[in-house]
Amino acid sequence: MCFFYWGDYLKETVCCFFGHHDAKEEIMDNLRQQIRSLIENENVSRFYVGNHGHFDYMVIKVLREMKEEFSHIDYRVVLAYMPKSTDNFCFVEPEETVFPNGLEKVPRRFGIVWRNEWMLKQSDIVVCYAYHHLGGAGQMVEKAEKQGKRIINIAKIRF
Name residues whose C-beta falls within 8 Å of residue 86's C-beta, 6 or more positions apart in sequence.
none
pLDDT at 25: 92
Q: Specify the pLDDT at position 78.
A: 97
- pLDDT number for residue 8: 44
CA–CA dist 25, 14 (Å, integer): 25
Q: What is the pLDDT of residues 8-42, one digit of tens each?
A: 445 679 999 999 888 899 999 999 999 999 999 99
Low-confidence ranges of the chain (pLDDT < 70): 1-11, 84-90, 156-159
Question: Which of the listed CATH numbers 3.90.76.10, 3.40.47.10, 3.40.1280.30, 3.40.50.450 matches domain 10-153?
Answer: 3.40.50.450
Q: 19 and 128 in contact (C-beta within 8 Å)? A: yes
Among residues 117, 123, 144, 130, the alpha carbon closest in space to that of 44 is found at 123
**What is the arrangement of strands in the sheet containing 14-19, beginning at the earlier edge strand?**
97-98, 74-78, 46-49, 14-19, 125-129, 150-153
Residue 11 confidence (pLDDT) = 64
Domain ranges of the chain: 10-153
Alpha helices in 7-153 (DSSP H): 28-42, 54-69, 111-122, 135-146
Q: Are 47 and 80 in contact (CB under 8 A)?
A: no
Cβ–Cβ < 8 Å for 24, 58:
no
* pLDDT computed for residue 93 by the predictor: 84
The residues with which 14 forms a beta bridge, in sequence order, are 46
Q: Which residues contact 97 (CB under 8 A, 6 or more apart)?
A: 51, 76, 77, 78, 79
